[in-house]
Structure 1
Amino acid sequence: MQSHQLSSGDVIADRRADYARMLEEGGEPEAAAELMEQALELVPTWAAGWYRLATYLEKAGRGEGAIEAYRRTLALDPDDIFGAALKLALLGDAATPDRPPSRYVERLFDDYADRFETSLVEKLDYSVPQKLASLVASTSRHYACAVDLGCGTGLLGPEIRACADRLEGFDLSQNMLAKAAEKQVYDHLAQADLSLAPDLSGLFAAAARHRADLVTAADVLMYLGNLESVFAIIEELAASGADIAFSVEDAGDSGGFHLAPSLRYAHSEAYVRLLLARHGLEILEIVKTVIRKDGGKPVAGILFLTCKPT
């Protein structure tokens, strides 16, 4: 974890916060919250400390106290690297944002990069790269240029490398990109924010528009609510006749998208179909499947294989 999450700058406050964490891990969130409050009396401007207090209060069933602590976190950290606004939405204190703060997502994956594959693949039975690659392989096409949006540590890259002459990967997290580079399967890797409009995302040079005949996004869209920006980017990237393969967490029959307790977004098939039609993309195949486990329970997902008409 990064220093901004750990240290208050005060030795006594840090010691009390460490004890609070141990109490919470031992199943005593009420006692943890009391000790964390003592730490914050010493360092009242510690945003990460307020966030930790909020999580302890929430686990202790003290919803109003948690809301106030999340509000304090957000006031002290307007960039919201901890995702306090998402927590406030889940607690009913704010409207669900269309997307999480970019700094929150970037920090989350920068911190998670070193243990990402072990946690996701070995512990959570993550299977999207293989399943999405199987959909791509069903086209029996060889691609001149494939673009892997939200490539992360590059789990999809080795699965589709053989079917593309050139493979590009983009992600918001520099630490995840560094892990992807270690695999040595991407011809180009760069940082990009999928929540931004195409002309602001850093993905495009004028000569590079419509360069991809395959665009993929494996387990990425659940970190966005409103997917308009992603489909606008795909529209800019995809050449005529391109295939587009991606996954979402399944929101069931809700008709739109919602924020889950995991702080990820789930999207309904109807919502994705609406966006595909709006952006002129044709559906080739839809597969409903389990994409991972969360808390020991299966997470339902939807895989889409679509194309941009010639």
Structure 2
Amino acid sequence: MTRAFLSSGDLIADRRSHYAEMMFEAGDHAAAADLMRQALEIVPDWVPGLFRLGEMEEKAGRLEAAAEAWRGVLRADAQDRFGASLKLASLGLTAQPDAPPTAYVETLFDSYAPTFETALIGKLDYRVPEFLAEAIAQAGGERRFRHVVDLGCGTGLMGERLRASTSFLEGIDLSDAMLRKAEEKQIYDRLEKGDVNELEKPTIPADLVVAADVFVYVGNLDRAFANVSGMLEPGGLFAFSVETHETDGPSEEELVLQPSLRFTHSAFYIRRLLERHGFEPLEMSRAVIRYDRGEPLTGIVTVARRAALVAMAGSPDEPIALEERPN
């Protein structure tokens, strides 16, 4: 979203911002920022341009100028659709938030929807649906699921792998544009707009809830795990992925906002929350789940079973081994 060009409504300002983008791509970040400032002199209320100016100033090493631009974005857009508060936190200028602004996540994926699958599969070697499908099959054997909920279903990449093994497939996503893309595939029995932190308990409990590459845009997972526990019947499976920032074991950095504005989670944090919300981990494996700017991103693929009672769940002090998943 942040690289996408959004018109200012003024032809001259748009031309200067286009030139700024050309300079930025050429590596002259300071010149790019100067050109973007000229565009903003023409249209000072252009919020997307002001946010982009902050990114250019950041790359130019002028962090205070970047921060001032993002503070201006927050003054102009209280919903923070561009994630300016996350940018400030990533520079250490404000405290790390527990979660990204809802409007930011919704806007981000509305803008991603047209090119989402092409970018993830064709350019980033995205493998989360593949890994989760394999982990679910291993944990569930030949089991056919009655009611599957695909949280953060996006365009349906995970749903395509779930369809054959479920009688009723439900997709939930925060982005209207993503839901429209998913609807085109005609693989879901029901699609709904929703936030993983605000889920209601279904009339008929699910026996599988999947969240593929969702929690990087949620942050603190306590409410999400509680909601999933409430959606699942005893013995139901919860399969999900996270990006991670460390190898294993207790860590003070259980939850970290990365420069990418995605959150990473430690294995210890995941185990602790599973235990708290009545889940028994069946598999936790580490794998390269995608690439970002040519660099591999490591994630944790997890399948857990909801226990009948919270007290039946295992202790995070005696965790199952975190294995390396072959790539």
TM-score, normalised on structure 2?
0.88
Question: What SS does structure 2 have at the residue aligned with 1:51?
Answer: helix
Identity %: 52
- Counterpart of 1:189? 191
- Which blocks of at least 5 consecutive residues in structure 2 are unaligned? 309-327
Note the C-alpha offset of 1:5: 5.8
Structure 1 partner of 2:161: 159
Aligned to 2:305: 307
1:251 aligned to 245, 249, 266, which one? Answer: 245
Check conservation: 2:197, 2:227, Cα contact below 8 A.
no
Q: Quote the residue 2:148 is aligned against.
A: 146
- Correspondence for 1:285: 283
SS at match of 2:219: coil
Matched residue SS, 2:285: strand
**Counterpart amino acid of 1:171?**
D
- Residue 189 of structure 1 aligns with an amino acid whose one-letter code is L
Aligned twin of 1:262: 260
State the shift of 1:210 in Å.
5.5
How far 1:246 sits from its partner (Å)? 0.5
Q: Tell whether 2:124 aligns with 1:130.
A: no
Distance 2:66 2:8 in 1: 20
The CA deviation string for residues 116-138 of structure 1, in whole angstroms up to 9 with x for no partner, is 11110111111110110111111
Which of 274, 277, 288 aligns to 1:276? It is 274
Q: Deviations 1:238-281 (Å, cap 9, x if unpaired)?
A: 11210111000012154411011111100001101111111111
295, 298, 304: which one pairs with 1:297?
Answer: 295
Alpha-carbon deviations, 1:256-307, whole Å to 9, x = none? 1101111110000110111111111111111111100111111110011101
CA distance in 2, matches of 1:215, 1:231: 11
Q: Aligned residue for 2:318?
A: none
Contact 1:210 1:236 in 2 (8 A): no
Aligned with 1:195: secondary structure?
helix
**2:9 pairs with 1:9:** yes
Map of 1:1-310 to 2, 5 A cutoff? Answer: 6-138=6-138, 139-140=140-141, 141-196=143-198, 198=199, 203-204=200-201, 208-209=202-203, 211-252=205-246, 253=248, 254-255=251-252, 256-310=254-308
Give the letter for the 1:275 counterpart: L
What CA distance in whole angstroms lies between the structure 1 residues aligned with 2:91 and 2:5? 22
Task: Give the conservation status (yes or no) of the 8 Å contact 2:173–2:192.
Answer: yes
Measure the CA separation in 2 of the matches of 1:178 and 1:45: 31
Tell me, yes or no, if the aligned pair for 2:255 and 2:263 is still in contact at 8 Å: yes
Residues in 2 aligned to 1:38 and 1:114: alpha-carbon distance in whole angstroms: 31
Report the RMSD for the aligned CA atoms in angstroms. Answer: 1.6
Aligned residues: 301
d(CA) in 1 for partners of 2:204, 2:289:
30
Give deviations 1:145-173, integer Å, cap 9, x for gaps. Answer: 01010011110112121211111000011
User: What amino acid is aligned across from residue 278 of structure 2 in structure 1?
Assistant: G
Classify the secondary structure of the residue corresponding to 1:6.
coil
Distance 1:195 1:5, change over 3 A: farther
User: Structure 2: how far apart are the matches of 1:210 and 1:190?
Assistant: 16
State the AA in 1 paired with 2:256.
H
One-letter amino acid matched to 2:162? I
Q: TM-score, structure 1 length as denominator? A: 0.93
Kindly state the Cα deviation for residue 209 of structure 1 after the two structures are TM-superposed.
4.1
What does the per-residue CA deviation read over 1:35-58, in whole Å, with 9 as the maximum and x for residues that have no partner?
A: 111122222222111111111111
Q: Which amino acid in 1 is paired with 2:211?
A: A
Q: CA offset at residue 9 of structure 1?
A: 2.7
What secondary structure, in the 3-state scheme, does the structure 2 residue paired with 1:169 have? strand
**8 Å contact 2:113–2:155 — kept in the other structure?**
yes
Match of 2:312 in 1: none
How far apart are the structure 2 equivalents of 1:163 and 1:11? 53
Please tell me whether the aligned partners of residues 33 and 56 of structure 1 are also in contact (alpha carbons under 8 angstroms): yes
How many angstroms apart in 1 are the aligned matches of 2:21 and 2:121? 27
Stretch deviating more after TM superposition (11-20 or 156-165) = 11-20
* Contact map agreement 1:282 1:306 (CA 8 A) in 2: yes
Q: Is the 8 A contact 2:126 2:291 kept in 1?
A: yes
Q: What secondary structure does 2:197 align onto?
A: coil
Residues 210 and 238 in structure 1, CA contact (< 8 A), matched pair in contact too: no
